[in-house]
Amino acid sequence: MVSRSRNNLSSHPNTIDMKLTITNVSKRYGNSTYGLKNFSITMQSGILGLLGPNGAGKSTLLKMVATVSKPTKGLICLNKNNIIKDPNYMRQQLGFLPQDFGVYPNLNAVEFLKYMAATKGVGGTNMDKRINQLLEGLNLMEAAKKPIGSYSGGMKQRVGIAQALLNNPKVVIFDEPTVGLDPEERVRFRNLISDMANESIIILSSHIVSDIDTIADKVAIMKNGSLLTHGNQEDLIAQINDKVFETTIQKSELNAFKLANTVISTARVNGQLAVRYLSDQPRGNSVSKEANLEDAYLYLTKNN
Partner 1 sequence: MRHFLAILKYDYLQRTRSYFFLITLCASLVIAYTFLPSPDAGYSTIRISDYVGYYNSSWVGYITAILTSVFLSLMGFYLITGSIKTDSETRVGQIISATPTSNFTYLLAKASSNILLLLTLVGIIFLMSIGLFFLYGDSFSFELLQFVQPYLIIVVPTMVFISVLAILFELIFGKYTVIQNVVFFFLFSVMLLYNPKSELQQTYDVFGSKVVTQQMEKTVREIKNTVSNEELAIGYIVSSTQQTKRFKFDGVDFSTPYILSRMALVVFGFMLLFLISPLFHRFNLRERKNIVRKKTLLEKEPITNDINISGLAIMSKNYSILPLFKAEFLMLIRKGKSWLWIFNSLGVVLLTVLSIDMAHQIVLPVLWFLQVHRFSDITTKETTNRMHYYAFSSYLPLRRLLTSQLSSAVVLLLGLALPLLIRYVILLDVQALLSIVLGSFFIVLLAAISGLLTKGNKFFEIVYFFLTYANLNKFPLLDYFGGIVKTDMFWIKHSTVVFLMVVATFFLRKWKLNNN
* C-alpha separations of 196 from 15, 178, 189, 215, 247 in Å: 11, 16, 11, 11, 42
Q: Which is nearer to partner 1, 92 or 279 (CB)?
A: 92
Asked if 81 is part of the footprint of partner 1 (rule: CB under 8 A), the reply reads: no
Q: How far is the CB of 96 from partner 1 (least distance, A)?
A: 6
Are the beta carbons of 176 and 96 closer than 8 angstroms?
no
Binders of partner 1 among 93-152, rule CB under 8 A? 94, 96, 98, 100-107, 111, 114-127, 129-130, 133-134, 136-139, 142-143, 146, 149-152
**How near is the Cβ of 192 to partner 1 at its closest, in Å?**
6
Q: CA torsion 77→83→86→92, rounded to 10°?
A: 110
| Nearest residue to 127 via CA among 118, 119, 136, 138 | 118
Give me the least distance between CB of 18 and partner 1, in Å please. Answer: 16
Count of residues touching partner 1 (by CB under 8 A): 64
The Cα angle at residue 200 between residues 298 and 233, in degrees rounded to 5: 25
Q: How far is the CB of 2 from partner 1 (least distance, A)?
A: 23
Beta pairing partners, 294: none
Among 26, 60, 67, 178, binds partner 1 (CB under 8 A): 67
Rounded CA-CA distance 154/162 in Å is 12
Q: Answer yes or no whether residue 29 interacts with partner 1 by CB under 8 A.
A: no
> Is there binding between residue 196 and partner 1 (CB under 8 A)?
yes
63 contacts partner 1 (rule: CB under 8 A): yes
The residues, ordered by sequence, that sit 6+ positions from 118 with a Cβ below 8 Å of its Cβ are none
DSSP assignment, residue 216? -
Name which of 55 and 121 has its Cβ closer to partner 1: 121
* Shortest CB 46 distance to partner 1, Å: 15
Residue range at the interface with partner 1 (CB under 8 A); choices 84-92, 204-212, 219-227, 287-295:
84-92
Q: Which of 163, 205, 247, 286 binds partner 1 (CB under 8 A)?
A: 163
**Span near partner 1 by CB under 8 A; candidates 166-174, 220-228, 244-252, 283-291:** 166-174
What minimum distance in Å lies between the beta carbon of 13 and partner 1?
13
* C-alpha to C-alpha distance for 64 and 41, rounded to whole angstroms: 13
- DSSP class of residue 112 equals H
Give the span between the Cα atoms of 117 and 111, in whole angstroms: 10
Rounded CA gap, 226 and 39, in Å?
6
Which is closer to partner 1, CB of 86 or CB of 242?
A: 86
Residues 189 and 202: beta-carbon distance below 8 Å? no
Site membership for partner 1, residue 88 (CB under 8 A):
yes
Residue 167 DSSP SS3: coil
- Which among 34-42, 189-197, 283-291, 294-302 is the span making contact with partner 1, rule CB under 8 A? 189-197
204 sits near partner 1 (criterion: CB under 8 A): no
Report the C-alpha gap between 64 and 70 in whole angstroms: 6
Which parts of this chain interact with partner 1 (CB under 8 A)? 63, 66-70, 87-88, 91-92, 94, 96, 98, 100-107, 111, 114-127, 129-130, 133-134, 136-139, 142-143, 146, 149-152, 155, 163, 165-168, 184-185, 188, 191-192, 195-196
